[in-house]
Amino acid sequence: MPLSSRHLLGLQGVPREDIQLILDTATTFREVLERPIKKVPTLQGKTIVNLFYESSTRTRISFELAQKRLSADTINFSKSGSSTSKGETFKDTVKNIEAMKVDMIIVRHESAGVPQFLTRISNANIINAGDGRHEHPTQALLDMYSIRERLGKIEGLKVCIVGNIAHSRVALSNIHGLKSMGAEVSLCGPKTMIPKGIESTGVKVIHNIDEAIANNDVLNVLRIQLERKAGSTIPSLREYHNYFGITSERLEKFNRDIVILHPGPINRGVEISSEVADGPYQIILDQVTNGVAVRMAVLYLLGTKN
Amino acid sequence: MNIKAKIIDEDGLKRTITRLTHEIIERNKGTENIVLVGMRTRGEFLAQRIHEKIKEIDGSDVDLGVLDITLYRDDFRMRLKQPEVSTTDITFDVSEKDIVLIDDVLYTGRTARAALDALMDLGRPNTIQFCVLVDRGHRELPIRADFVGKNIPTSINEEIKVKLKESDGEDAVYLIDISKEA
């Protein structure tokens, strides 16, 4: 059964069967990543453009590796060093790239809605790799894959997203994805970092980190985004760490099994202590490995869909 | 479904498996370096049966794996339906081994071509030998089987349907007429 859409713009409104299909397909590609030759010829002849208007390490490398491992031809575009600095509009850039016959566009942009806009001006399959504060669907998919890999299921689990929710596209994609897969989702952070009205998505909001640790199976700890001026919503990073930082002392107080995710890059000593970031509860590097498999699955499912 | 003939029945299948197993052992002068790889889905079950048979005859427990060739297909761009991918499950190293690749029906040879590419990506085997239950002809690629259960010359308006207890509840091979009814 193929996916219901030919683009992946976000997880809002994506049916559960589609998420399930992506996660199941990713299992196949996880196996490919363990082989001596980590490459299959499935997307031979397809051309994919990585259109990154915002800096990225993990996501871009992960997408590029996923594309190469499926034998697609890839082109990387980044804002600096392009004709954007000569004043070319976004639309013109995309039209020109498309004129070179590309099949798929992976886009990251600082403005929400850019991937949506792309679907109107281009015939390629569009995958959102993060748009403003809106969504980052492949991150949420790999988070769910990693949770399922560790705990065997998603349905019925209690998952708390901790930190700077207001500035986070990872949070929004996770909320939509996890809800649709049947998890119970809550948010934890200082009031200034939780957007007003977020409860309408069906999540619970709490402001006490001990409560979050005590009542959840999974904590998805988000980064304090210094580049998006998160600093102005909290008195100091140190105070944030004192009230919301995940530390071994806090985890040990409750002495229970809990799985800790972090989308990276980590601010050690701010949202999470170094000890926890390298400790037994976290699956941060599994997330990175799984990210390649999940992106291969998305590329495969969209790239071979007629 | 318009069944023209039952070509192999349950007893026949048993005898065929026994014969194929003996041929495999004979050709390889024993079972020492053999590994079995079944192609999803029915090749997997045939491989399990040959595996059991080898145990019976020779007492050895050779490695057994399952290959999914979806990612290596050559017809992605032409198909209307997206094929569902499943997992390859080969946990042993195939390098320097004599692989016996097992499938139910050999027809155009395109599946076998894909399987050869898939196996090559797993390492450098010593040899790959191809074992099929039914060879129905109409090859589109220069591929042949080393071990054949039964050669059944067919017309392109016919189809071979292999049924196995594990997946279909019975052991049999049927010749089916798929030409448009006059």
Q: How far is A1 from chain B (nearest CA, A)?
A: 7
Which one of B72, B80, B89 has the shortest CB-CB distance to A40?
Answer: B72
Does A36 contact chain B (CB < 8 Å)?
A: yes
Q: How far is B38 from chain A (nearest CA, A)?
A: 17
Mutate to test the interface with A, among B73, B74, B78, B85 (most CBs of A within 10 A): B85
Exposed e or buried b per residue across B45-69, where buried means at least 16 C-beta atoms within 10 angstroms of its C-beta? bbbbbbbebbeeeeeeebbbbbbbb
Mutate to test the interface with B, among A5, A304, A305 (most CBs of B within 10 A): A304
Q: How confident is the model at residue A78 (pLDDT cuts 50, 70, 90)?
A: confident
**Is the residue at B25 inside a domain?**
yes
Does A4 contact chain B (CB < 8 Å)?
A: no
Cβ neighbours of A41 in B, within 8 Å:
71-72, 117
Neighbours of B108 (CB within 10 A): 14
What pLDDT score was predicted for residue A167? 84
What pLDDT score was predicted for residue A243? 95
Q: Look up the CATH number of the domain holding residue B26.
A: 3.40.50.2020
Report the domain count for chain B.
1
Mean pLDDT, rounded, for A35-42: 88
**Is the residue at B182 inside a domain?**
no
Q: Is the pLDDT of residue B77 over 70?
A: no
**Is the residue at B146 inside a domain?**
yes
Q: Enter the pTM of the model.
A: 0.87
SS3 B65: strand
Cβ neighbours of A300 in B, within 8 Å:
71, 85
What pLDDT score was predicted for residue A228? 65
- Of all residues in chain A, the one with the smallest CA distance to B87 is A28
Which one of A37, A42, A306 has the shortest CB-CB distance to B71?
Answer: A42
Q: How confident is the model at residue B133 (pLDDT cuts 50, 70, 90)?
A: very high
Q: How confident is the model at residue A36 (pLDDT cuts 50, 70, 90)?
A: confident
Backbone angles phi, psi at B93, to 5 degrees: -85, 125
Q: How far is B125 from chain A (nearest CA, A)?
A: 13
Does A37 contact chain B (CB < 8 Å)?
A: yes
Q: Is the pLDDT of residue B181 over 60?
A: no
Cβ neighbours of B121 in A, within 8 Å:
35-37, 39-40
User: What percent of chain B has a predicted confidence (pLDDT) above 70?
Assistant: 95
Q: What is the C-alpha to C-alpha distance for residues A133 and A227, in angstroms, rounded to an integer?
A: 13
Does A300 contact chain B (CB < 8 Å)?
A: yes
**Is the residue at B172 inside a domain?**
yes
What pLDDT score was predicted for residue A262? 97
Mean pLDDT, rounded, for A27-48: 91
Does A32 contact chain B (CB < 8 Å)?
A: yes
Which is more confident, A78 or B150? B150
Tell me the residues of B at the A interface, defined by beta carbons under 8 Å apart: 68, 70-72, 76, 79-82, 84-89, 117-118, 121-123
Domains of chain A: 16-136+288-303 (3.40.50.1370), 137-284 (3.40.50.1370)
Q: How confident is the model at residue B79 (pLDDT cuts 50, 70, 90)?
A: low
pLDDT in tens, A279-306: 999 999 999 999 999 999 999 999 988 6
Which one of B80, B85, B121 has the shortest CB-CB distance to A39?
Answer: B121
- CA–centroid distance for A188 within its chain: 18
Q: How confident is the model at residue A120 (pLDDT cuts 50, 70, 90)?
A: very high
Scanning A110-266, the segments in alpha helix (DSSP H) are 114-121, 137-151, 169-180, 209-215, 237-244, 248-254
Q: Is the pLDDT of residue B182 over 50?
A: no
Its domain, for residue B37, covers: 2-75+83-177
What pLDDT score was predicted for residue A77? 87
| CB-CB under 8 Å, A2 with B121 | no
| Assigned token pair, A176 | 């939509």
Which one of B76, B80, B86 has the shortest CB-CB distance to A28?
Answer: B86
| Assigned token pair, B147 | 């071990």
Note whether A10 and A171 are within 8 A (CB).
no
What is the pLDDT of chain A when averaged over all its residues?
Answer: 93
pLDDT in tens, A205-256: 999 999 999 999 999 999 987 766 666 888 888 999 999 999 999 999 987 8
Q: What is the C-alpha to C-alpha distance for residues A9 and B140, in angstroms, rounded to an integer?
A: 41
What pLDDT score was predicted for residue B78? 65
| CB-CB under 8 Å, A41 with B117 | yes
Q: How far is CA A112 from CA A89, A105, A118, B178, in A?
A: 17, 16, 12, 53
What is the pLDDT of chain B when averaged over all its residues?
Answer: 92
pLDDT in tens, A54-76: 988 899 999 999 999 999 999 99
pLDDT in tens, A142-199: 999 999 999 999 999 999 999 999 889 999 999 999 999 999 999 999 999 999 999 9
Cβ neighbours of B115 in A, within 8 Å:
none
Note whether A137 and A107 are within 8 A (CB).
no
| CB-CB under 8 Å, B68 with A306 | no
